Chain A
């Protein structure tokens, strides 16, 4: 509600309190103290207690509606008594109807699917300013809301509506206390002054200012440093579009604009009418009792009801009847004229009637097109009405939606009266209110119809939630000697075998060819024996397209299988942008980028590993070298996982010793890291533990006796099983360190892992400096899981510390058996060179996503320490003995 008088009064709210006497200050302190006690006592009330009080208050409001309306009109000389009765009844009955079944005490909402409870906490003491235009209805509304939410209120009515407001407060208070409300729950400031308001707005025990009034007061409320609900001014544009039901529209506008003589700030201010219906609409208005002003009358009207200095409406016109305004202006109108309608040609200071007019004077504008109509509505909206209310009459849903998108108001009322529509619950399902939030456009914190939920602190009790986990692997895995024979069952028109030259020379491709389904056209795509480059992928995709292949067989180590995964991705989804898909992520489920699901082509991917380490045949990962940019691109998505894995040990019988050791330790590292990962689950644990057991038993044999079929077979299985574990539980800090170190010094991945492994076990088994947030694990369990591994391996030990120590010793012994260098220094890297490399190594390791599932969050300083431990080598077990003193 804005009147120029109100503006003048409210903008002058002083920020200091020097003008208050000691006596007045004591009086105000007494009010706050009383309200504070009442609010505190109120916290003990139950929902039933509260509801028992609210209902009789509502009934009292209804019983006293006429009495209060009469008082309001007598005192303020604004509005229409009959309409104020309706307002009082809406403020009581309609508001009650909305709140009666709402929970406002204790748990107010349970959201079991999100493990959330919402719990109401009262605000305490509210300081509430009420307007001159809707005095008693606003008081009734706020009292009922306050009791429903267990708050105490100190009211400061507009000085020119004090008597009627204090009577409304008294009626509400006596009824509330009679039915059990705490004493002092409502008070009404005696002879309120601006310094009083300023003092109370800043009082430490006032929890919230609820300011319904002019912009100055709202600004003062928001400037006080207190949480505030401030309700700003309006300037409601109305678009009367040519498809509208004109009879309904005209009557609705008259109802709304004449309701309480236009004092509701949501009432219509300027009606923009399509050219085609303009004359017809004006005639209907005239027929129903409106006076259409001619140009001369319009000039007279605007000079009288709008202050030429401020551009705001004149206070004397607010809430007056159309006939009284006409008489004052000097217009000759029929008796019982309801509304004065003034055609305007634009919006702004040069068109004075385009502003808010809280009296029955309505501006109209003739628009030549929809675009012009929308533009003028926007102009009105931005001429003092941002955030408040707008109205459209139309049957064209497209226009209605466009209007809704363009106009910035908290309420956009469709095919119904603006003022009563905005109040809610009468013409629509908006929440009933007597306070309109106007959003940031109106300098407010909300666009809502202010309601009970704005009088509550809503606390959210969030129970621990476990995200869904998964265990995803290819749905067909064939293993053991000669498992390649299973290729025969996969029919194919054309198959591309992706492999590398040494494997072809060894005759592995011929073995595969022999088992491919007969009549299949086979093309062999030989790629370099190294991590795939973009060029290699492009050539592979060209071959797939040329042959229109429906099956890809990847025969090789991790690099070959990775290449085939990426070829398949680009063949099936040519638009896939690898750079984009490789974007970093923290949690696969919440990753920003989405892998393509629409496929241009389809091909089955069968992976046949020829090493026993990476497990790429069952993983959703693929690494690509982007030489042009000098970087590795790591892709991770379950859509990359091969459709079929064939784990046939005949392809690894001739693996050299060094490769056997490197890949075998890579496999062990996968299993150990998956085992203690924060994403570990019983599903991954079973795989991780089994893989560890197989590696400790069979890796030394496969290393010493390469032709031992059982050992080769079991190590081949171990690699695949470990990969199933880490595909779903991920790896850890060991891989982050190894990736950084291996890339910088050109050390094979398995070997780099081996250099870090004992130190990482010791590190993860001791008390973390920083715990890794993880909803999946309960407490810190890494050390216990290492102990479980030690038990599984029969390493002995009387307690967790001893078992971890024995596991580290066993790991070191295994590394010795495999003739691994046991320190980075042994590789011939000088201390000075390593020292120079450390900052970059740490940076790269910290950027590596591998450690995100590590049970212990590595600090940069700890990464430095781990690198140095690996540099110096040995001693991890001894160090563990010391650090285990502080094991969890």
Chain B
């Protein structure tokens, strides 16, 4: 079982600062970053950009990012902007 390097509950109202902060905390320790999207009903453009940036940082630090509890509407958005291949998904 992979080590969890970061576990973060994402609050819909604070997606951008939460992801920025989490990105800053990725220190290259081995393991996964698990972002819990269970409470996110909708994502906006800035949230998407922040998520993309987080994925970029995680890539650089070889950290695998797992999104948990993503609802299908948000999943469709990620699909449309071709971000799904950057993450693993966990229900």
A positions within 8 Å CB-CB of B: 34, 36-41, 43-44, 124, 182-184
Among the listed B45, B73, B76, which residue makes an inter-chain contact with A182, where contact means beta carbons less than 8 Å apart?
Answer: B45
Size band of the B side of the interface? 10 to 19
- Report chain A residues within 8 Å CB of B78: 40
**Contact between B43 and A44 (Cβ–Cβ < 8 Å)?**
yes
- Report chain A residues within 8 Å CB of B49: 37
- Report chain B residues within 8 Å CB of A38: 45
**Contact between B74 and A183 (Cβ–Cβ < 8 Å)?**
no
User: C-beta contact mask, B59-82 vs A, less than 8 Å → 1, else 0?
Assistant: 000000000000001101110110
- Report chain B residues within 8 Å CB of A37: 45, 48-49, 81
- Report chain A residues within 8 Å CB of B43: 41, 44
What 3 A-B pairs come out closest when comparing CB atoms?
Answer: A40-B80, A183-B45, A40-B77
Q: How far is the CA of A682 from the CA of B30 in the complex (A)?
A: 66
Main secondary structure of the interface of B (DSSP, over half): helix
CB of B71, distance to nearest CB on chain A (Å): 10
**Contact between B46 and A44 (Cβ–Cβ < 8 Å)?**
no
- Report chain B residues within 8 Å CB of A43: 73, 76-77, 80
Which of B44, B49, B80 has the largest number of chain A CB atoms within 10 A? B80
CB of A45, distance to nearest CB on chain B (Å): 9
Instruction: Assess whether B56 is interfacial by the CB under 8 Å rule.
Output: no
CB of A120, distance to nearest CB on chain B (Å): 14
Q: How far is the CA of A40 from the CA of B49 in the complex (A)?
A: 12
Q: How far is the CA of A41 from the CA of B42 in the complex (A)?
A: 8
- Report chain A residues within 8 Å CB of B44: 41, 182-183
- Report chain A residues within 8 Å CB of B42: 44
**Contact between B77 and A44 (Cβ–Cβ < 8 Å)?**
yes
Given A44-B73, A44-B74, CB of A184 within 8 Å of CB of B80: no
- Write the chain A residue with the least CB distance to B82: A36
Q: How far is the CA of A37 from the CA of B81 in the complex (A)?
A: 6
- Report chain A residues within 8 Å CB of B77: 40-41, 43-44
CB of A206, distance to nearest CB on chain B (Å): 14
CB of A230, distance to nearest CB on chain B (Å): 26
**Contact between A41 and B76 (Cβ–Cβ < 8 Å)?**
no
Q: How far is the CA of A40 from the CA of B46 in the complex (A)?
A: 12
**Contact between B73 and A40 (Cβ–Cβ < 8 Å)?**
no
Beyond A34-B45, A41-B48, A43-B80, 16 additional contacts (C-beta under 8 Å) are: A36-B80, A37-B45, A37-B81, A40-B48, A40-B76, A41-B45, A43-B73, A44-B42, A44-B73, A44-B77, A124-B80, A182-B44, A182-B45, A183-B44, A183-B45, A184-B45
User: C-beta contact mask, B33-64 vs A, less than 8 Å → 1, else 0?
Assistant: 00000000011111011000000000000000
CB of B28, distance to nearest CB on chain A (Å): 29
Q: How far is the CA of A415 from the CA of B62 in the complex (A)?
A: 72
Q: How far is the CA of A37 from the CA of B78 in the complex (A)?
A: 9
Q: How far is the CA of A124 from the CA of B79 in the complex (A)?
A: 13
A-B contact pairs, 13 of them (CB 8 A): A36-B81, A37-B45, A40-B81, A41-B43, A41-B45, A41-B77, A43-B73, A43-B77, A44-B43, A44-B74, A44-B77, A124-B80, A183-B44
- Report chain B residues within 8 Å CB of A39: 80
- Write the chain B residue with the least CB distance to A40: B80
- Report chain A residues within 8 Å CB of B46: 183
Q: How far is the CA of A57 from the CA of B41 in the complex (A)?
A: 26
- Report chain B residues within 8 Å CB of A34: 45
CB of A573, distance to nearest CB on chain B (Å): 60
- Write the chain A residue with the least CB distance to B46: A183
- Report chain B residues within 8 Å CB of A182: 44-45
CB of A458, distance to nearest CB on chain B (Å): 18
- Report chain B residues within 8 Å CB of A184: 45
Q: How far is the CA of A286 from the CA of B4 in the complex (A)?
A: 87
- Write the chain B residue with the least CB distance to A122: B80
Q: How far is the CA of A41 from the CA of B77 in the complex (A)?
A: 6
Q: How far is the CA of A124 from the CA of B81 in the complex (A)?
A: 11
CB of A295, distance to nearest CB on chain B (Å): 64
